[in-house]
Structure 1
Amino acid sequence: MAEKKLASVKFKNAGKVYYFSTDLLLDKGENVVVETARGLELGEISQELKDLSEFDLDTELKHILRKATKRDIDNFEKNLIDAQKALETCKEIVSRYDINMQLTKCEYTLDKAKIIFMYTSDDRVDFRELLKELATVFRCRIELRQIGPRDKAKVVGGIGTCGLPLCCSTMLGEFNGVSINMAKNQMLAINIDKISGACGRLLCCLKYEDDIYTQEKKRFPKIGSKVKYEGNDVKVLGLNVISDLVKIDSKNGVIFVSLDEITFDKNNNNHNNNHHVHKGKKNER
């Protein structure tokens, strides 16, 4: 019997990676069938297999059931079409009930033993009667899963302010905490409309450059501090980290000068008031 390996499996292009064990010979990009908490699913090997001995795992991993066959892949493709039809049917059924829920997406498990409806709602939804009707119509297990604004944007997709498809639906496997302090650290104007994404929450991309700004700002004087410029003490009013410029209040008025043109005591330079404290979900808007 072949040695068991660690397999990284994802279920969507921008989905989170899950780990399984396997003694199959599998290459990156191959489709496999696995059993998850949701049921039977088709996944894709996202990385080359690794030795289990390299990882200190707290829990026992589930095994990959098999390589996906042509029939598995055909069933998966057919389920995508059937799920879209089921979503429209469910929307029609929901419209007859006095409940506040907006259906977003529908998914079948590979064997169609279960159907999952994702929805958003501002209220707590009592859908006991709805579940009974859905079970009668679809004749399988029903799961109604409430998702948040970020998850909805990931599911629906769209175009960001950068002109590219949303990161959450193309490359982000999971969401990291984003805080308003990251915008402040990057010296962005705190205009919520401009620093919010399609989901209405803070832009995920605020996190991309935050560490770089924190590191680069160590080369600059603190805003409000005094520095030397042309032999005179001047006050620092602002920074342009990208262009290496410092905004100062000089005898000639407010001007931008190159960082190389001023002198200051870097040992006493402290940007703690601009440094964000990242505490994950608690800081997320």
Structure 2
Amino acid sequence: MGCQSCAVGGCGSRARTTDTDEVAVATKTAGCSSGGCSSGGCNKLNSFDWLSDMLPSNAPNTRDGYTVVEVKFKGGRKDYFRNVHNLDLTTGDFVVCEMTSGYHLGAVSMQGDLVRLQLKRKHIQINDDTKVIQRVATQRDLEKHEQAILRDLPSLYRAREIVRDLKLQMKLSDVEFQSDNTKATFYYSSEERVDFRELIKMLASEFKVRVEMRQISLRQEAGRIGGLGSCGRELCCSTWLTDFKNITTSAARYQNLSLNPAKLSGQCGRLKCCLNYELDTYVDALRDIPTVDKPLETQKGRAFLQKTDIFRKIMWFGYSSESTWHPLPIARVLEIVALNKQGVVPESFDVLTPVGEKEALSAAALNADLTQLDKKYASQNRSSSSRRKKKKR
């Protein structure tokens, strides 16, 4: 049995000793130890309890200082439960949690004072109506939970066939059966409003369970299914990202990215969430870059803006009569613009450099690192070609 937070089923097992009144029984509890495993695929919304060794002075007399525990279920879904029975829990333990109808099995993902800070950040109120943890999962509970998970994939395929027969404009992405096999939650996405009353009747008669339909966005769907992004890493929405902010094409324009939908779209078909990661840095850097509405006038000709290096504060201009680009610092560009407004046409870019200041920037100096790389790889190619000739001889 895997950790049930991802599609990886090869998690390592660990032994857990359960003390009873008569005998201490050692059970082999499959799953992840310390909330993760060595398979590399069970890091869905993992969290590190960095307050595990700190006990607040005003905390109640419990083992971890706070009676509320965070439990993670399939697909990275998390919820909070009260530990009213003062169970000795460890991160990664499977527990039986109270639900509206029946019970469900999940893994402890966080406990202690860090849960209190999470509840405060998310503005969640804990009261008597909050569900409780009934007990630590036994081997029988784990077997029933594994049987419920084995029903997910066949039920998803059968439900998609029923949706096609009813010709509903919706996409079923995942199914989650409750551990007691009394309820099934179907996650779907749709661009328009769907009347699925007939679908619920057919699903309930097909699987003999209570059916709940839950609509999710395309970003949430990608997070539940998972996958690899164009960067080669797992999707952010399936590993750590929970808050999906609005992303517009202006984020790509600020970063001088090509407005190509195929490159800017993620697995969900929407704009990539990572477009917002460095947006603030680019916006701050662009504040010092002047807006050049028209070409610069010099006696040599009209110089047009070709590109801008916002981090090195350099703007490249080129004459229409030649293919060479001239790098200019921002201060020099502002000086030329001010002279052009006064009707003064400088002789060239270099004349503006006062005595005692640094000399004008040259393209060769700015591209020195590229020149070194070209020389390096050129020498390697020559040596490899000479070795091939020797082998032929």
State the TM-score, normalizing by the size of structure 1. 0.72
Task: Name the SS for the 2:263 alignment partner.
Answer: coil
Displacement, 1:202?
A: 0.6
Matched, 1:88 2:149: no
Displacement, 1:239?
A: 3.0
* Number of aligned residue pairs: 257
The aligned amino acid for 2:241 is L
Matched, 1:221 2:289: yes
Separation in 1 of the partners of 2:290 and 2:169?
A: 50
Indicate the residue corresponding to 2:316 in structure 1: 248
Matched, 1:59 2:129: no
Matched, 1:140 2:206: no
Displacement, 1:265?
A: 11
Asked if the contact 1:246–1:256 (Cα under 8 Å) also holds between the matched residues in 2, the reply is no
Two-structure CA RMSD over aligned residues (Å): 3.6
Asked if the contact 2:66–2:112 (Cα under 8 Å) also holds between the matched residues in 1, the reply is no
Displacement, 1:184?
A: 2.2
Query: Cα gap change, 1:254/1:20 in structure 2, threshold over 3 Å: closer, same or farther?
Result: farther
- What does 1:1-285 align with in structure 2 at a 5 Å threshold? 2=62, 4-12=66-74, 15=76, 17-22=78-83, 23-35=86-98, 40-50=103-113, 56=120, 59-60=125-126, 62-65=130-133, 66-218=135-287, 220-224=288-292, 238-241=307-310, 244=312, 246-249=314-317, 255=325, 257=327, 261-263=329-331
Runs of at least 5 residues in structure 2 that lack an aligned partner in the other structure: 1-60, 295-302, 335-393
Separation in 1 of the partners of 2:169 and 2:114?
A: 48
Asked if the contact 2:66–2:116 (Cα under 8 Å) also holds between the matched residues in 1, the reply is no
Displacement, 1:114?
A: 0.7
Query: Cα gap change, 1:152/1:63 in structure 2, threshold over 3 Å: closer, same or farther?
Result: closer
The aligned amino acid for 1:255 is W
Separation in 2 of the partners of 1:109 and 1:100?
A: 26
**Rg comparison, structure with higher value:** 2
Displacement, 1:196?
A: 1.0
Query: Cα gap change, 1:16/1:92 in structure 2, threshold over 3 Å: closer, same or farther?
Result: closer
Separation in 2 of the partners of 1:222 and 1:71?
A: 69
Asked if the contact 2:94–2:107 (Cα under 8 Å) also holds between the matched residues in 1, the reply is yes
Looking at secondary structure, tell me which structure has more strand per residue: 1
Q: Deviations over 1:62-101 (max 9, x none)?
A: 2541333333333332222111121222223333323233
The aligned amino acid for 1:60 is I
Separation in 2 of the partners of 1:139 and 1:39?
A: 15
Separation in 2 of the partners of 1:265 and 1:248?
A: 10
Task: Name the SS for the 2:150 alignment partner.
Answer: helix
Q: Deviations over 1:237-269 (max 9, x none)?
A: 643346x262332668773648xx553799xxx
